[in-house]
């Protein structure tokens, strides 16, 4: 019976993919084969077994890692709840330490792909308890490092990162077996520390480790966009971000990396005063479970600059309601933006409470740049000083926070329309900033997602309002107005 033979062949192929992939999730035996990952990412997950054995653990570990690495996340967090109650298996187990460590690390990797940072870190820590070889220890540490980095706990993230690097070096494994998760942890930590040079080194390191993996290439380029934001190369950053988000490369990328890139693109627009465009970029997206990426937090930045404080509070109410389930990396900026909105609305007590909660998180997790990007400098500093006056135990934070504010916050009048005398619209203001870049009008049209004729019409309107006849004169006039 041909059908029976075909079914047997398919099962044998799937089993071979499981065995090979499971053996390569930790370093020392090569990297998983791409066609095996593609096959496993489409395979159905088994029902919870009556008793967990190493064979079933290896199967589920391979399937979950494949789903994480090939962005097959349609079942979301329900997959984890199918097998686990918190970090405990729902069914009895007869597992070796290595089998349990491998399974727990793969569940953590899957949680990271879904954006559940705190849950991932718990699975990583549990995996580390059972890791009885250097390779399994390295894998567990990579999950822990990214889980902490995604949650904004950068000191423990860097400690796990450093320990993982030491284990890898001692193991003598080839560079291509470096954990992808550690590169992601490096991207988040470097960005938060505003360590531009360290962040700028990540893309080349990723290309050197896996030059032929499209998922790695996409992530490396996304890190490059973050570098452009921190270096204030806004126009180039927007072009690169839009190409990655809307071009053919997006089909071989990870959801959380795309979400991260959407947030960076919105920051690029906010950085140049195009807050409405930032909101338009964010409009199609809902917050994933765990808020490892929080689009409400991103929208709050633009809403604050637009003076839409009540809308900001409504937008972030659900974030506050999640309390401890919300990722701390994105929750701290939510609290700060809500504090500023409350202060503007005359709710001084609520403003201080929200800022106090944010500063207590900072005191616990360390001072880092992310919460302060694009906040109004003077307003933020003033409110922090008010809180510290009532809480002297927080005053030691001010020198480092003041230095961060000076680097990443915006002046309080930053959201005021540029070139007001000329009456440029918000769209024309954003386009005017692009005229100063090396982009052609056709490239500007692609970057903004409009037709070339639309851009030409808008440029003519800008020229008319500035009283100039060409691009060079317009740039000269714009620079004079900026001065």
> What architecture is the 420-482 domain classified under in CATH?
Orthogonal Bundle (1.10)
**Confidence (pLDDT) at 371:** 82
Q: Please, are residues 359 and 387 in contact by the beta-carbon 8 Å criterion?
A: yes
**Confidence (pLDDT) at 412:** 59
**Full-model pTM:** 0.83
Three-state secondary-structure class, residue 369 = coil
- 11-193 maps to which CATH number? 1.25.40
**Confidence (pLDDT) at 3:** 57
DSSP string, 48-67: PPSSB-HHHHHHHHHHHHHH
Which of 83, 118, 135, 78 shows the shortest CA–CA distance to 104? 83
H, E, C per residue of the chain: CHHHHHHHHHHHHHHHHHHHHHHHCCCCCCCCCHHHHHHHHHCCCCCCCCCECHHHHHHHHHHHHHHHHCCCCCCCCHHHHHHEECCEECCCECCCHHHHHHHHHHHHHHHHHHCCHHHHHHHHHHHHHHCCCHHHHHHHHHHHHHHHHHCCCHHHHHHHHHHHHHHHHHHCCCHHHCCHHHHHHHHHHHHHCCCHHHHHHHHHHHHHHCCCCHHHHHHHHHHHHHHHHHCCCHHHHHHHHHHHHHCHHHHHCCHHHHHHHHHHHHHHHHHCCCHHHHHHHHCCCCCCHHHCCCHHHHHHHHHHHCCCHHHHHHHHHHHHHHHHHCCHHHHHHHHHHHHHHHHHCCCHHHHHHHHHHHHHHHHHHCCCCHHHCCCEHHHHHHHHHHHHHHCHHHHHHHHHHHHHHHHHCECCCCCCCCCHHHCCCHHHHHHHHHHCCCCCHHHHHHHHCCCHHHHHHHHHHHHHHHCCCCHHHHHHHHHHHHC
Each residue of 326-372: pLDDT tens digit?
A: 888 899 999 999 999 999 999 999 999 999 999 998 888 877 888 88
* CA–CA gap between residue 481 and residue 477 (Å, rounded): 6
Each residue of 383-416: pLDDT tens digit?
A: 999 999 999 998 888 888 888 888 777 665 544 4
Average pLDDT of adjacent 10-residue blocks, the chain of 483 residues:
64 92 96 96 94 96 97 90 93 96 98 92 97 98 97 93 97 96 96 91 95 96 94 89 90 94 92 87 89 93 92 94 84 94 93 93 82 85 91 89 80 48 65 76 76 83 78 77 53
**Confidence (pLDDT) at 420:** 46
**Confidence (pLDDT) at 372:** 84
């Amino acid at each position: 019976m041909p059908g029976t033979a075909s079914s047997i062949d398919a099962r044998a192929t799937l089993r071979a993919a499981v065995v090979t992939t499971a053996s390569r999730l930790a370093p020392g035996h090569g990297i998983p084969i791409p066609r095996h990952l593609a096959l496993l990412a489409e395979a159905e997950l088994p029902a919870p077994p009556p008793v967990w054995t190493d064979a079933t653990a290896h199967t589920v570990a391979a399937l979950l890692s494949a789903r994480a690495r090939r962005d097959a996340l349609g079942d979301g967090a329900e997959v984890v709840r199918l097998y686990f109650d918190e970090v405990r298996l729902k069914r009895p187990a007869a597992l070796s330490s290595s089998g349990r460590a491998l399974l727990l690390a793969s569940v953590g990797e899957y949680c990271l792909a879904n954006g559940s940072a705190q849950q991932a870190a718990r699975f990583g820590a549990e995996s580390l308890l059972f890791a009885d070889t250097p390779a399994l220890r390295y894998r567990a540490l990579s999950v822990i490092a990214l889980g902490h980095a995604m949650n904004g706990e950068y000191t423990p993230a860097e400690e796990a990162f450093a320990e993982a690097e030491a284990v890898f070096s001692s193991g003598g494994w080839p560079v291509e077996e470096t954990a992808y998760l550690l590169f992601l942890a490096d991207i988040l930590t470097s960005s938060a520390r505003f360590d531009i040079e360290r962040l700028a080194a990540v893309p080349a390191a990723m290309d050197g480790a896996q030059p032929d993996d499209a998922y790695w290439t996409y992530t490396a380029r996304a890190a490059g966009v973050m570098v452009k934001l921190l270096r204030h190369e806004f126009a180039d950053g927007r072009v690169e971000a839009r190409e990655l988000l809307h071009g053919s490369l997006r089909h071989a990328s990870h959801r959380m990396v795309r979400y991260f890139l959407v947030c960076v693109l919105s920051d690029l627009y906010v950085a140049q005063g195009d807050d409405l465009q930032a909101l338009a970029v964010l409009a199609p997206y809902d917050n994933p479970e765990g808020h490892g990426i929080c689009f409400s937090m991103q929208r709050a930045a633009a809403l604050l600059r637009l003076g839409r404080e009540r809308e900001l509070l409504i937008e972030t109410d659900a974030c506050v309601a999640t309390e401890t389930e919300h990722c701390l990396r994105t929750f701290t900026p939510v609290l700060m933006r809500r504090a500023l909105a409350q202060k503007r609305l005359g709710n001084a007590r609520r403003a201080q409470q929200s800022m106090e909660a944010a500063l207590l998180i900072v005191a616990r997790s360390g001072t880092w740049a992310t919460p302060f990007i694009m906040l109004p400098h003077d307003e933020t500093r003033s409110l922090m000083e008010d809180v510290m006056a009532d809480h002297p135990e927080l005053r030691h934070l001010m020198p480092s926070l003041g230095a961060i504010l000076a680097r990443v916050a915006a002046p309080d009048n930053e959201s005021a329309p540029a070139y007001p005398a000329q009456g440029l619209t918000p769209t024309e203001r954003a386009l005017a900033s692009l005229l100063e870049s090396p982009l052609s009008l056709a490239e500007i049209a692609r970057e903004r997602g409009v037709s070339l004729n639309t851009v030409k019409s808008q440029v003519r309107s800008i020229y008319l309002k500035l009283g100039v006849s060409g691009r060079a004169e317009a740039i000269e006039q714009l620079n004079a107005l900026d001065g």
